[in-house]
Amino acid sequence: MDRIEISVIIPVYRAEKHLRETLENIRNQTFSNFEVILVDDCGYDRSYEISKEFSSLDVRFRTIRNDRNIGAAASRNRGFEEAVGEYIIFLDADDTYDSQLLETLYLNVIRNNAEVALCRSDIVDVRDGSISIFGQWRRLTRMIPENEVWVVDAPLTIDNMPLFIDLAAWNKLIKREFLRRNHIRFQELDSYNDLSFSMLSCLLAQRLVFVNRSLITYYKYNGNSISSQREHGNCGIVEAYNAVLERPEITGSAIKCELLNRAINNILGICFNGRRTRDGRIAILSALKELWNRFGCDSGMGELDPICDYCIRKIQNSVFELSDMDADEINKAVLLNISASVEIEGSISIVPNNMWHEHTGRSYALGQLTI
């Protein structure tokens, strides 16, 4: 059997509306030495029949079906175990892909002898048709010229880390042996099941290649898996950061402090952004407290940023709320003036005044919230 260079793994669940277009995108790639593993997760629509149709038309496509619905993370892990390609890419069943996606990432990962190659992704909000740039690429596009490549060695440094942790599972071509050797898999959680996979893929690589070219269009639907769970107290994000921070490779107080800053900011932003129930917020904040008690009490730990430090000190004593703040904004914020009134026996009111974002110069008024 000839060597297969790329394994494309796609979990398929109730995707019949967009699946055919997605698979045509992949079938028509300019790079041809790949296999596609379609993992059908028992969605009770015609997705399985469409997958089987492509498998019969093109020997590079292979369909396997789970015995029962096991979720996207477990389906991706099953696909990984079936894969034989030198490199792996995990794609979604309802997105569109540039015809040069595989070729561009493959050539760059080979030329630069890297474990991971990443490309820019655009997000289309199907509710209003608006287009935005995904994640950390909003910053990277200001640093890397259009269609240019940036090679980064040893991302796990205090200087590199904030920029080079990309939280998408579907915009990376990754060396399969690197994933196997480092035991990097998807956590089988109800939400945020790709966070630790994506972070560890970037953090543990010796070399990353960033390609500033939009090769993937990700469609954001109302009720996507993450946004649809905002009202509930799902603590998957806390479990995901636990999985990252507990890795023995994550050493050094400065590195752990930077990761904790990111974790706290991310968790707080998710906790207070959206319509969560009071019990949901309490569950998340309680889990955050456990995260801090486990990883944040190191005597050699560096300083938290002001908002994280303030929040953690409050969590040590009780559960509290802050206002609607985007996690990415919190991460760069400088706390100017904050005051609080706390009722030990009853509800807790935190009354922040203003925060100033040092990059945009925008001021954020944080209104009073009570639980």
| pLDDT score at 224 | 40
State both tokens at 259. 């990761």
| pLDDT score at 307 | 61
Q: How far apart are CA 148 and CA 150, in angstroms?
A: 7
More reliable by pLDDT, 221 or 307: 221
Residue 293 has pLDDT above 90, yes or no: no
CATH 3.20.20.70 is the classification of domain 6-227: no
| pLDDT score at 162 | 60
**pLDDT classification of 300: cutoffs 50, 70, 90:** low
Average pLDDT over residues 155-176: 77
| pLDDT score at 354 | 33
Strands (E), 77-228: 87-90, 96-97, 116-125, 131-133, 149-153, 172-175, 207-220
Buried b (16+ CB within 10 A) or exposed e, 312-322: bebbeeebbbb
Q: How far apart are CA 175 and CA 116, in angstroms?
A: 7
| pLDDT score at 349 | 31
Q: How far apart are CA 371 and CA 349, in angstroms?
A: 7
**pLDDT classification of 99: cutoffs 50, 70, 90:** very high
Lowest pLDDT segment from 58-72, 81-95, 164-178, 219-233: 219-233
The model's pTM is 0.81
Q: How far apart are CA 73 and CA 10, in angstroms?
A: 11
Residue 112 has pLDDT above 90, yes or no: yes
**pLDDT classification of 186: cutoffs 50, 70, 90:** very high
| pLDDT score at 235 | 77
Q: What is the pLDDT of residues 55-81, one digit of tens each?
A: 999 999 999 999 999 999 999 999 999
Residue 242 has pLDDT above 60, yes or no: yes
Residue 41 has pLDDT above 60, yes or no: yes
Q: What is the pLDDT of residues 216-230, one digit of tens each?
A: 998 877 544 333 334
**pLDDT classification of 341: cutoffs 50, 70, 90:** very low
- Domain ranges for the chain: 6-227, 230-370
Q: How far apart are CA 293 and CA 307, in angstroms?
A: 18
Q: What is the pLDDT of residues 130-154, one digit of tens each?
A: 888 887 788 888 888 999 999 988 7
Q: How far apart are CA 306 and CA 151, in angstroms?
A: 32
